[in-house]
Chains A and B, each alone.
Chain A
């Protein structure tokens, strides 16, 4: 037998290529961020349009707008528009949440300008043809029904309602009855009032020089007009904490536990430490929560904790689906791991691991055209850009044990969370009530 094998050390880090990027604000107020990223001969596109509104009828209209914005424009009907995009080797799709509408696309690099022309026709002269709106309205009601049959969706929705009450952030999914009443005229009006260049950002990442991409954007989208819309929404309410809400789903073979609380945004001095503390808790596979609940107990396929950044505030969210029979024990272990992280110091070894992981995975997630485009689009509302991708790793490396432990103490104490669980109440309610105050 030869001598025992040793795990090889890491070698010198490779220095990433510098990205060539450029940013411009067009005369109409549209910001264009362009990054040359070779790799494959494509360009990724994200057009992010602020869409926050406190009007009660807004979520249904916004969601139906996202379903119909690409159903025809500038004289092309739905099918002709789709065929035109397809012929470029391209794609466009629309997504919406409480903060924004995003038009996401990609195209063969030589056809970028043509795709931007199509995009310009969509934002400037959308059809919202009655027949298409009615078709999509019915479909959206059906799709919402399918979504709400998923326990994960029910649990997440219940948690946001409990955290944010009647704030728009609690209404990410529209109500079917509201959707059923939306008219084509209302969609056109909403489009006119919010789909405007000022305040929006177009991110282009791909195998074209930044100068050419910005010129193409200016030539195609420069004629899009409209003043910056007034977006007002109330401040986010403080999540109330309180008893664990038990939502009955008879026959459920798993329970979906969701816990959430306020966090701090990427621009906060404590953010790097919080990001690292979150990884230690449940943000990667090596995390304490995963090792305990999955690799030691086998209670779940996998728990996840994550930081989410909304325009009005950031949140820390915990989610796990556990076998019904072990719901209370899984909550016990979760509370234990939260308390342990908040009350006891993180170790040197844990810190080194999460620092490497955070830096490495940021590099991986921005190593593709699509990943970089999505990241830049998400960073823009916070005043962050390409530079953050280089400076954040420095902040991560500089974070000390004391800082991470302080962030853990501030954000991970179990009492600070608002919590819900969706599961078979007859099998889980009594066990949970032994551990924490509950309500149905």
Chain B
């Protein structure tokens, strides 16, 4: 008997404008705030060769002024309305978003519409944001131990094509070669209204909001939308190994990547993989915490997650399950790997303990619900599920789908994670003192 798991409930009103912009509006009157998110269907994977990091650099340019707004005005309008903003670049999409007091709803819609018409791409703005992005990479990657590990370095071992394997933050040389012409082309090609999803949630009236959206976005010219290529790659047929020297790291680390089922086309199988990752490392009762941390003392910490950023629903095919650990120099990597293999085999062959699956999925639903409490997170989740999975409503159905996963499904998922189809990236610590 599958357990009864609580599910989020929400109302979603959907409409597509004549220019192709897909719109979702979701009223929720619990707090006087609104969230606005625009997701464009372009991420790291669509960057041209020789332009690694360009999707992210371009994201910065979208904040540098637009058709009506001077540089700095976007920030000022959001913040002087009492709101916050940001944007982020992912493997398959790029998002732009605001959390605002409810009385700034129309202003927020205007700001997003204005840059959907076109950002102010100038030499000066490009040069300035190039420096900002390089400093972002310095602070998060180059100057920090374990910087970007493993999301930046593991794809190069796990995947073959440029689209899937390159560094999404970008190399400095590629970033420096970027031009304003590249930026204009990128905007023309990928930022058409028909290539975007707009979601608005919070303390609002759905009809009024839909009318405001029509008013502000309706006259943005329809443009051709790019056909998204398949980024699929054949499965690995032999183990791959790579090393990553990290002169700042005091102790070694490892990331083990496995290909997983297509998150969109094979959602049920993906959920089995997600539950497996929770069985392996969620909390002190999990398999790898017990074995690697508590019993054998092989690692300092270990985590297993689906999705290269740790969100299983954030990417289309291909994506990965990653097991990542920091470990003391006294641990031998091959002992660590074979111990992980033993634990995977225990799940694959011995199945789950009584109650294990239910406690793990009950907790996972708690985590998901908690994420949806903030209006902005909810807005972003709606947009992501609509863009990546085709239906925002799937978000509310996930607990039910999770309840349908069986212990045998998790066993089967574990059986697919084998030494001969994994990519192992060893971080070599150079910072021991």
Which residues of A are in contact with B by a Cβ distance under 8 Å? Answer: 4-5, 7-17, 38-42, 70-71, 78-83, 85-91, 106-108, 132, 135, 138-139, 142-143, 145-146, 149-152, 251-254, 284-286, 291, 294-301, 321-323, 352-353, 356-357, 359-361, 363-364, 367-371
Residues of B close to A10: CB separation below 8 A: 81, 101, 103-104, 107
The CA of A200 and the CA of B71, in the complex, are separated in Å by: 49
- 29 pairs, A vs B, C-beta closer than 8 Å: A5-B68, A7-B107, A8-B107, A11-B103, A11-B106, A15-B32, A42-B370, A79-B284, A82-B284, A86-B282, A86-B360, A87-B355, A106-B370, A108-B362, A108-B365, A108-B366, A142-B251, A146-B145, A146-B326, A149-B145, A149-B250, A286-B75, A298-B135, A301-B135, A322-B135, A323-B134, A356-B79, A369-B373, A371-B374
Q: Which residue of B has the minimal Cβ distance to A83?
A: B285
The CA of A254 and the CA of B32, in the complex, are separated in Å by: 41
Residues of A close to B128: CB separation below 8 A: 295-296, 298
Closest chain-B Cβ to A276's Cβ sits at a distance in Å of 13
Tell me if B103 and A13 are in contact (CB < 8 A).
yes
Tell me if A86 and B363 are in contact (CB < 8 A).
yes
Given the interface pairs A39-B30, A42-B369, A370-B373, the reply to whether A89 lies near B362 with Cβ below 8 Å is yes
Tell me if B293 and A151 are in contact (CB < 8 A).
no
Tell me if A360 and B82 are in contact (CB < 8 A).
yes
Tell me if B135 and A138 are in contact (CB < 8 A).
no
Q: Which residue of A has the minimal Cβ distance to B105?
A: A11
Residues of A close to B134: CB separation below 8 A: 323
Residues of A close to B250: CB separation below 8 A: 145-146, 149
Residues of A close to B71: CB separation below 8 A: 295
Tell me if B31 and A321 are in contact (CB < 8 A).
no
Tell me if B366 and A150 are in contact (CB < 8 A).
no
Q: Which residue of A has the minimal Cβ distance to B137?
A: A301
The CA of A363 and the CA of B137, in the complex, are separated in Å by: 32
- In B56-103, which residues have CB < 8 Å from any A CB? 67-69, 71-72, 75-77, 79-85, 99-103
Q: Which of B80, B203, B374 contacts A368 (CB 8 A)?
A: B374
Residues of B close to A86: CB separation below 8 A: 282-283, 285, 359-360, 362-363
Tell me if B143 and A252 are in contact (CB < 8 A).
yes
Residues of B close to A107: CB separation below 8 A: 366
Tell me if A40 and B369 are in contact (CB < 8 A).
yes
- In B304-346, which residues have CB < 8 Å from any A CB? 326, 328
Closest chain-A Cβ to B101's Cβ sits at a distance in Å of 5
Closest chain-B Cβ to A397's Cβ sits at a distance in Å of 12
Closest chain-A Cβ to B121's Cβ sits at a distance in Å of 16
Given the interface pairs A86-B362, A87-B359, A364-B33, the reply to whether A298 lies near B374 with Cβ below 8 Å is no
Q: A7-B111, A14-B101 are in contact. List 8 more A-B contacts (CB 8 A).
A: A15-B32, A145-B250, A253-B143, A254-B138, A254-B143, A298-B128, A300-B135, A360-B82
Tell me if A81 and B366 are in contact (CB < 8 A).
no
Number of residues on chain B facing chain A (CB within 8 A): 86
Closest chain-B Cβ to A296's Cβ sits at a distance in Å of 7
Q: Which residue of B has the minimal Cβ distance to A151?
A: B143
- In B22-45, which residues have CB < 8 Å from any A CB? 29-33
B197 at interface (Cβ–Cβ under 8 A)? no
Residues of B close to A7: CB separation below 8 A: 68-69, 77, 107, 110-111
Tell me if A41 and B369 are in contact (CB < 8 A).
yes
The CA of A253 and the CA of B69, in the complex, are separated in Å by: 34
Ranked 8 nearest A-B pairs via Cβ: A360-B82, A298-B131, A82-B284, A14-B32, A89-B366, A353-B80, A87-B359, A82-B285
Tell me if B144 and A150 are in contact (CB < 8 A).
yes
Q: Which residue of A has the minimal Cβ distance to B68?
A: A5
Residues of A close to B326: CB separation below 8 A: 142, 146
The CA of A339 and the CA of B69, in the complex, are separated in Å by: 30
Tell me if A13 and B32 are in contact (CB < 8 A).
yes
B372 at interface (Cβ–Cβ under 8 A)? yes
Tell me if A360 and B101 are in contact (CB < 8 A).
yes
Q: Which of A15, A70, A132, A364 contacts B99 (CB 8 A)?
A: A364
> Per-residue 0/1 for B407-433: is the Cβ within 8 Å of any A Cβ (1 yes, 0 no)?
000000000000000000000000100
Q: Which of A38, A90, A298, A360 contacts B83 (CB 8 A)?
A: A360
The CA of A151 and the CA of B145, in the complex, are separated in Å by: 9
Q: Which of A5, A138, A364 contacts B114 (CB 8 A)?
A: A5
Residues of B close to A149: CB separation below 8 A: 145, 248-250, 431
Q: Which residue of A has the minimal Cβ distance to B353?
A: A83
Residues of B close to A11: CB separation below 8 A: 103, 105-106
